């Protein structure tokens, strides 16, 4: 069994593991326990009542965080239209390209980007690199608005703080909602925006309680369960 770090042990002293905290208490606990020298990321973790093996119960979407994530993101845009690629470049995308870029990614086996956007026409060709983009959660998908014809507006949304998410094999969603340098109110508003999006993404076939539990954590901290 992996030994817990000294920092985690210290944080555990102040945490009641059996308690379900209010959102305010959870953020206060994380902010008060900050000890790392860098600005830690705060994440929300949702455990869902879905069967991740069923395609029709897959949960994915996008949420516009009012205060962003606190992280500078890199955006790649794919299109067969030179005008749209120029628009993407002028709009702030760090990497733009068409079929030649897809071939390059296939050869390298990776792509240095946090968000990947694509126009509908090039999607069939992007299937060639789905095995590279898919596992990282950056394969463009209409459900999270990463397949678009409005390049400039979409880039602007993601630069301002829009995030994408999808469930993992354990029926969980993990998503950033800010940094420990954010105020409690900023973290709360970001969390509420994400939660609303996750609730809206509930698959039609899911019965009973959809969100089983929610945990808030920071990079070097521990998980705090919230109501």
Domains 16-68+163-226 and 75-160 share a fold: no
Fold annotation for 16-68+163-226: Ribulose 1,5 Bisphosphate Carboxylase/Oxygenase (3.30.190)
Lowest-confidence region among 14-18, 80-84, 219-223: 14-18
What 3-state DSSP class applies to 127?
helix
| 199-212 mean pLDDT | 94
Phi, psi angle pair for 65, to nearest 5°: -80, 125
Looking at residue 220, what DSSP letter applies? T
Phi, psi angle pair for 166, to nearest 5°: -155, 155
Q: Residue for token digits 């071939």?
A: 103
Burial degree of 1 (CB within 10 A; 0-12, 13-18, 19+): exposed
| Sign of CA pseudo-dihedral 117, 111, 105, 170 | negative
% pLDDT > 70, the chain = 93
The rounded distance, in Å, linking the Cα atoms of 43 and 97 is 32
The rounded distance, in Å, linking the Cα atoms of 157 and 160 is 5
Q: Is the pLDDT of residue 102 over 60?
A: yes
Query: Which CATH superfamily is 75-160 part of?
Result: Ribosomal protein L1/L10, domain II (3.40.50.790)
Domain assignments of the chain as residue spans, ordered by start: 16-68+163-226, 75-160
Scanning the chain, the segments in alpha helix (DSSP H) are 6-13, 23-32, 82-91, 99-108, 123-126, 130-133, 151-160, 184-200
Q: Considering the chain, what is the average pLDDT of its residues? A: 90
What 3-state DSSP class applies to 26?
helix
Interior angle at CA 90, CA 82 and CA 119, nearest 5: 45
Of the chain, the end-to-end C-alpha distance in Å amounts to 30
Tell me, what's the pLDDT at 11?
47
The pTM of the whole model exceeds 0.85: no
- Residues 65-101: tens digit of each pLDDT: 999 999 999 999 999 999 999 999 999 999 999 999 9
Tell me, what's the pLDDT at 1?
38
Q: Is the pLDDT of residue 205 over 50?
A: yes
The rounded distance, in Å, linking the Cα atoms of 202 and 213 is 15
The rounded distance, in Å, linking the Cα atoms of 160 and 24 is 25
Q: Is the pLDDT of residue 2 over 50?
A: no
CA dihedral 156, 108, 119, 153 (to 10 degrees): 0
Q: How many CB atoms are closer than 10 A to CB 62?
A: 20
- Residues 143-199: tens digit of each pLDDT: 889 999 999 999 999 999 999 999 999 999 999 999 999 999 999 999 999 999 999
């Amino acid at each position: 069994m992996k030994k817990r770090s000294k920092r985690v042990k210290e944080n555990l002293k102040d945490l009641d593991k059996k308690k379900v905290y209010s959102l305010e208490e959870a953020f206060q606990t994380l902010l008060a326990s900050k000890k790392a020298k860098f600005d830690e990321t705060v994440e929300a973790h949702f455990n869902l009542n879905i069967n991740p093996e069923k395609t029709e119960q897959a949960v994915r979407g996008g949420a516009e965080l009012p205060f962003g994530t606190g992280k500078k993101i890199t955006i790649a845009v794919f299109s067969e239209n030179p005008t749209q690629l120029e628009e993407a470049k002028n709009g702030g995308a760090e990497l733009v390209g068409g079929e030649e870029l897809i071939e390059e990614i296939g050869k390298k086996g990776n792509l240095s980007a946090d968000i990947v956007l694509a126009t509908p026409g090039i999607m069939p060709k992007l299937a060639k690199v789905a095995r590279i983009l898919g596992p990282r959660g950056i394969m463009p998908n209409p459900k999270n608005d990463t397949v678009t014809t409005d390049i400039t507006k979409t880039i602007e949304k993601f630069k301002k703080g829009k995030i994408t998410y999808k469930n993992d094999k354990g029926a969980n969603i993990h998503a950033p909602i800010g940094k420990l340098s954010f105020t409690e109110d900023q973290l709360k508003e970001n969390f509420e925006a994400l939660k609303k999006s996750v609730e809206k993404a509930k698959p039609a076939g899911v019965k009973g309680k959809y969100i089983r539990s929610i945990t808030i954590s920071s990079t070097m901290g521990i998980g705090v369960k919230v109501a």
